[in-house]
A and B are shown apart, each in its own frame.
Chain A
């Protein structure tokens, strides 16, 4: 039981980290200073749009992490060794944040300058949140299923 609590707290901390990163660092430190919004759109309005899609991207990631965790922990049974691994299924869960990232790309108006940073942050937040949370806090039976997890996870 303690193990699950530790894992969920870990996932929570990583998610919170990405929310803070998106809202306080990416938005306030970078985009607010560097972005010139498209004609007719005010910067705060554009930043709100970024915030909306960035948060949804992270939320989609967290949803994917939780789904992966629940399925890997309580859905998959490794009674026969061939039932281990499941890297393809882990990879499929990237689809969730990717969809939201694509939506963010579509619905965020193209800025006159430095708008690419927003797209970069969408990708970074959405994918890195899912990757880091699963690489560090996947259930024990699948703890090295995320790519390169064996390099970063030591418990």
Chain B
């Protein structure tokens, strides 16, 4: 089975970001994951962060790890990985897009209808920073521009899916989007409908192959709000409209049976909508920190990808509305797999950043490789030189991903002010600082090494020497997987050893 994830809009991109981290933890089932972002605002900060995560993942995945949980899934990014409905427009606006001026002269009836449906500001406002919380604009544009058979990345997307369903591999497509914004709310039903329509267009004898195709989606209900502004001059997404938009959206899905095109649909929201200080119109300033709702969205994708028999609607809730524990996260594998694998990746990132990368740097500059026996076993005897530019780049790439992952985790924990997230002991590696009056999460310059055994909450017995035990095991670690090569063998060993800690 191959898997396809499409993040629509800023929230969609953030959910895909969470799914990429879950893939890095080895939570995805066997098969490739194709990732695509849909956003008219390509400079959107949320999208930017998801793109960086995707790029870091793909770059690190070039290392040959063999069969291990770390970065287990082969992720293929769409080319281009962000699709914008305005890729050919320099100054996009609804009026320009539908040639409103020409319409007024050639087809007056259509122009009048256009006037009835859209206000002057909706028609004239430039849309390079997205649909500004107006799904009515987005739906019109998306329906007109998404053509699965024409242009990239849709052409490749379609070809890959056709190959999967005709070849019997099977394909599961999952869409992420918000119901309350502009891009996600408009793209979620429109793109799903276009995919269904396009892929149903098979030869009469091939119709049975459609059983190999499943379409699912996570629709995110409001979970954050903007701090209100004193002045309101431009057309943009307003959090006071979120609930109204959501109500309208849900009514639309219900009355038009729009969820029928999905084999499974997941809805999430958070009562206490955390205030986000950014009231950006879009662009790189639209950068909301990761939120725990995105964990749920990524878990819903896992649930969809893993399960054979899909329900149409999925509901889940927390035990305590002001708290989130591991037990509140649905685990499609059953048991504690999600907790264990996220824990394993957290320990790997923590150990790599606090111990293994620094010692490799020290050996590179000062020599004395004997200090780290695993260095002799995995690097020196394999003729991997730390001075080699390619080695340096690979080690830095893994470092960058590990930093990104830990920051993401810490941000998830600080995303809500009046709720307690009890998943990871992020204080061991990150702290909140004030940056220009705003809270910002940063990695600690020196991690709390004694907390290594207790990175996963709830806190257990104190084991201040767990890193020392990991070091000892790394010094006698053996990797028998012949597909693990070079630095990949070292990371393979570190990942496996981190998986042995409970």
Contact = CB atoms under 8 A, between A and B. Distances in A.
Interface of A: 3, 77-81, 84-85, 87, 139-145, 149-150, 155
Contacts of B32: none
Nearest to A76: B468
Contacts of A79: 449-450, 452, 464-465, 467-468, 471
Given A3-B476, A140-B475, A155-B476, A78 B467 contact: yes
B476 A150 contact: no
Decide if the interface of chain A is mainly helix, strand, loop or mixed.
Answer: loop
Interface of B: 355-356, 358-359, 362, 368-373, 376, 380, 449-450, 452, 464-465, 467-468, 471-473, 475-476
B475 A87 contact: no
Contact of A143 (B369, B373, B450, B468): B373
Centre residue among B355, B369, B370 by max chain A CB count within 10 A: B370
A143 B475 contact: yes
Smallest CB-CB A-B distances: 9 pairs = A85-B371, A81-B359, A140-B475, A144-B370, A77-B468, A140-B476, A84-B371, A78-B471, A79-B467
A52 B368 CA distance: 39
Q: Give the secondary structure class of B's interface.
A: helix
A144 B369 CA distance: 9
Contact of B370 (A3, A78, A85, A139): A85
A150 B370 contact: yes
A149 to B, nearest CB: 7
Contacts of B376: 144, 150
B449 A141 contact: no
A81 B473 CA distance: 14
Given A79-B452, A81-B471, 4 more contacts: A84-B372, A85-B371, A141-B472, A141-B475
A79 B428 CA distance: 14
A83 to B, nearest CB: 8
Nearest to B471: A78
From A3, A80, A87, A155, name the one whose CB has the most chain B CB atoms within 10 angstroms.
Answer: A80
A119 to B, nearest CB: 31
Given A79-B467, A145-B370, A139 B355 contact: no
Nearest to A86: B371
Contacts of B369: 144, 150
